[in-house]
A = this chain, B = another copy of it.
Amino acid sequence: MYTNGVAATSVDKVLAACGAGKSQMYHYFKNKDQLVEAVIGRYLETILANQPAINDLHDWAAFDRWTEQLLDIQRGPQGPIACPLGNIAGELGDDPRVAGLLDKAYREWESHLARGLIALRDKGELAADADPARLAQTAMACLQGGLMLAHIRRDITPLADALAVAVGHLKSHAR
């Protein structure tokens, strides 16, 4: 589903790939939509597991370490890879049900950034009137766009620049 899209990935292909029978699929999932729902959940888990630095945003330098970790993932052998959630968003974002799930997933992702920003605010290193959730949302927008362009271009530069702009924007609220 990540590589070829959700619609182009039939249930039969999924089952063949994992060596399971059809009765298993329809025993554990009501239909393909519910499978996709589980896939979205798995995407978020994988994404967060791949960027552990997002859990240690205790100072401003940690944000730089986080972006460096993101860039390192994208420097892999197969070139820049797309964000799985972004892929789903493009294909199924008009479906209100899927949009809701994606919204939740992104908010969870952003909450890690917001947590770091709140810690900085509590330490007096972020302006008291700064809005951590909104700042995190803006950073996520830059990250997502950078990922998408980097994937399409097979070039990490758009992501690197977008992340630099995003973190620069966060730091512009530093105290």
Contacts and interface: CB of A to CB of B under 8 A. Distances in A.
Contacts of A146: 141, 145
Interface string A147-175: 11101111001110110011011000000
Size category of the A interface is 35 or more
Contact of A141 (B3, B87, B94, B159): B159
A102 B154 CA distance: 12
Contact of A138 (B8, B87, B102, B161): B161
Contacts of A87: 90-91, 93
A149 B82 contact: no
B90 A91 contact: yes
A126 to B, nearest CB: 16
Interface in A109-148: 134, 137-138, 140-148
A134 B161 contact: yes
A174 to B, nearest CB: 15
A141 B140 contact: no
Contact of A145 (B7, B88, B141): B141
A93 B142 contact: no
A82 B8 CA distance: 21
